[in-house]
DNA sequence: TCGTTAATAT
DNA sequence: GATATTAACG
């Protein structure tokens, strides 16, 4: 008894921007250094127990990208300044360089920062290292960004496939999957608004993309349809360039 | 060395 | 099965 959404396209865009309901996650953002340096005698089991101290989180969750620093990572400010020099003799050990960090959890907020960084850099300059530096998130490694960037690119490609779906010459698995695109695809990626120019690099003059909006038959007709998604893609108009 | 892709692990 | 990490390649 649940009507499947059939008009997602109506408010697809508006649904994306999540107001403020994703935040109850402050888990493994604790400085890996601390966690690892002191390392909780938890033996194996990467389950970074969130510290009891919880900073005010529900308050104003402005979506402002650059604004709030991470939770607590006074040291290692990376970007800024740096410093210095020298880090020759490492008096204090920096285990963060040799020990394996738990597992990076890309929270919507973190991803938002990621997207923002890529947007400011531009697709062409959006390389792991640059993104990582721009994000200025301590504990974030180039590997982390590279991995996430890989997935993010696939996501963008997927979006392109559905926006402009050509029946001919289209043999991309993405398109197939795209056909069954649901608002539930890519939880994380869908949480963050994707800059327009992201969809088509090299097209600064991108007007609002026109989703085909399958507003065709399928008006009344009790039977038929409902055949789960993935059916035949709507006849895309032959739009030429 | 860095960036990208595929494979692997959790 | 999804997501992040690790390895291999350019």
Q: At residue A93, does pLDDT exceed 80? A: no
- Whether A137 sits with its Cβ under 7 A from any strand C atom: the answer reads no
Identify the pLDDT of residue A157: 85
Confidence of residue A228 (pLDDT cuts 50, 70, 90): very low
Mean pLDDT of chain A: 57
Shortest CA–C1' contact from A147: which nucleotide? Answer: C4
Sorting pLDDT into bands at 50, 70 and 90, what band is A189?
Answer: confident
Our measurement of CA A219 to C1' C7, in angstroms, reads 52
pLDDT at A121: 85
Mean pLDDT of all residues in A142-171: 76
pLDDT band of A86, cuts 50, 70, 90: very low
The answer to whether strand B lies under 7 Å from the CB of residue A146 is yes
pTM beyond cutoff 0.85 = no
- Convert the pLDDT of each residue in A196-213 to its tens digit: 666 665 555 544 444 444
Which bases of strand B have any atom within 7 Å of the beta carbon of a protein residue? 2-6, 10
In angstroms, how far is B5 C1' from A235 CA?
A: 33
| Span A95-116, pLDDT tens digits | 666 667 789 999 998 999 999 8
Cα gap A202→A122, rounded to integer Å? 11
Taking residue A59's Cβ as centre, other Cβ atoms within 10 Å add up to 9
What is the spatial distance between Cα A145 and Cα A150, in angstroms, rounded to a whole number?
Answer: 8
Write down the pLDDT at residue A142: 94
């Amino acid at each position: 008894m649940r009507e499947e959404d059939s008009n997602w396209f109506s408010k697809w865009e508006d649904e994306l921007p999540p107001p403020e309901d994703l935040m109850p996650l402050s888990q493994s953002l604790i400085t890996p250094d601390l966690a690892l340096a002191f390392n909780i005698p938890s033996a194996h089991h990467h389950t970074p127990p969130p510290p009891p101290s919880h900073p005010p989180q529900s308050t104003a969750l402005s979506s402002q990208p650059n604004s709030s620093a991470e939770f607590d990572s006074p040291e290692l400010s990376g970007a800024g300044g740096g410093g210095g020099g020298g880090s020759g003799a490492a008096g204090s050990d920096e285990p963060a360089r040799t020990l394996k960090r738990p597992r990076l959890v890309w929270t919507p907020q973190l991803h938002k920062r990621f997207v923002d960084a890529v947007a400011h850099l531009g697709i062409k300059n959006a390389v792991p290292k640059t993104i990582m530096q721009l994000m200025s998130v301590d504990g974030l490694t180039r590997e982390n960004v590279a991995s996430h960037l890989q997935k993010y690119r696939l996501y963008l490609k997927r979006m392109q496939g559905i926006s402009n779906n050509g029946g001919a010459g289209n043999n991309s698995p993405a398109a197939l999957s795209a056909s069954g695109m649901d608002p539930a695809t890519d939880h994380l990626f869908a949480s963050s608004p994707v800059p327009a120019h992201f969809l088509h690099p090299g097209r600064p003059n991108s007007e609002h993309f026109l989703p085909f909006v399958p507003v065709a038959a399928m008006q009344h007709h009790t039977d038929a349809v409902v055949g789960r998604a993935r059916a035949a893609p709507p006849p895309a108009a032959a739009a030429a360039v």
